[in-house]
Amino acid sequence: MSYETIQPPFTLEFLKMSKDELRNYEKWFRSQIPIRIRQLADAVKATPGFSAWEPGFTPHSLGRLGEWLAEEVETRPRTEAEIRELARDSPYPIDIPKETLTNRSYSLAVDTGMYFSEVLLRNNPSLKWQHALDDKRSANYGQPVLVGRGSVPLNPVRIALTLAFGLVDRSVTATRLLELYDIWTDMLIRGKPPLSKR
């Protein structure tokens, strides 16, 4: 079975989208979660050595998923046009990385973020979805995030994309996905933002 990459019918330029577009994006995103988790599960199970993996929404399932993702994510060189556009849109003079995730790797990370959100929600009843529309200065503006008692908003897609880049450059290991679950669950229990302990 071939893996179909996610195809959002939106620009994903959240700061440029109208409130109506952002609300439609949030509805679309939440409706895609079960579909994308099925795509992810099929891709994982089709990989030799991972055929027994099931999306059982347990913390334990994140361990094997992290191992699988570490073997799958790849980067590609950015085009000169992409580098120029990113530099133009950045409010600060920063070095633009010469590589980015492939479309497939980006899609796998989004799917992983969606699965990660469901594991958190099903195992932490204090969590719920919230749509970040109040502050355009927020990095999460326009995006669905998870919030809970005393927690800072958790953007599961941003978490998974950061993880994917970390797996590619080897700054994190395959265990990081489960570690992130433990960090955020601990934070929910304590009612305080996670400490930078890793």
Domain assignment of residue 5, yes or no: no
Residue 174 domain flag: yes
Between residues 64 and 85, which one has the greater pLDDT?
A: 64
Give 197's pLDDT tier (boundaries 50, 70, 90): very low
Residue 93 lies in a domain: no
Give pLDDT tens digits for 24-39: 999 999 999 999 999 9
The verdict on pTM exceeding 0.85 is: yes
Q: Has residue 198 got a pLDDT over 50? A: no
Stretch 51-59: mean pLDDT? 96
Do 62 and 177 contact (CB within 8 A), yes or no?
yes
How many domains are there within the chain?
1
pLDDT classification of 1: cutoffs 50, 70, 90: low
Q: What residue numbers bound the domain in which 52 lies?
A: 16-73+105-190
Tell the residue number behind the tokens 């941003």, with chain if given: 158
- Cα dihedral 143→148→149→154 (10° resolution): -60
Sign of CA dihedral 100, 134, 126, 185: positive
